[in-house]
């Protein structure tokens, strides 16, 4: 009756993976820029370090909130949930 419905489902799944990939790439690039501006050698060193300034504390809270919002979106699009747990974890860890 509706032979195009499986195609729409597969296309929607593929589109959600592409959007999730773009979100991850943009988030990593922004965080890498912040790490370089703050004087850290790598992104991982920046994420592991405790915030030194108020600006870093605000960035940590911002990262945690971005991760939380993306996790809530991940409940609607399950593949997105796998990617967005990292910003929530590292942002919450820096705040605590």
CA distance 8 to 47: 39
Give the pLDDT confidence score for residue 29 in this predicted structure: 92
Spans of the chain below 70 pLDDT: 1-2, 4-5, 77-86, 90, 96
The residue count for the chain: 96
List the Cα angle 24/26/32 in 5-degree steps: 100
- Asked whether the CA dihedral 75, 80, 82, 83 is positive or negative, the reply is negative
40/32 Cα distance (integer angstroms): 9
pTM score over 0.85: no
Q: What pLDDT was estimated at residue 36? A: 93
């Amino acid at each position: 009756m509706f032979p195009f419905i499986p195609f729409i489902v597969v296309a929607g799944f593929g589109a959600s993976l592409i959007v999730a990939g773009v979100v991850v790439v943009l988030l990593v690039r922004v965080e890498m820029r912040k790490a370089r501006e703050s004087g850290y050698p790598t992104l991982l060193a920046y994420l592991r370090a405790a915030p030194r300034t108020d600006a870093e504390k605000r960035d940590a809270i911002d990262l945690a909130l971005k991760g939380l919002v993306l996790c809530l979106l991940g409940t609607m699009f399950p593949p997105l949930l796998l990617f967005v747990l990292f910003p929530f974890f590292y942002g919450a860890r820096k705040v605590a």
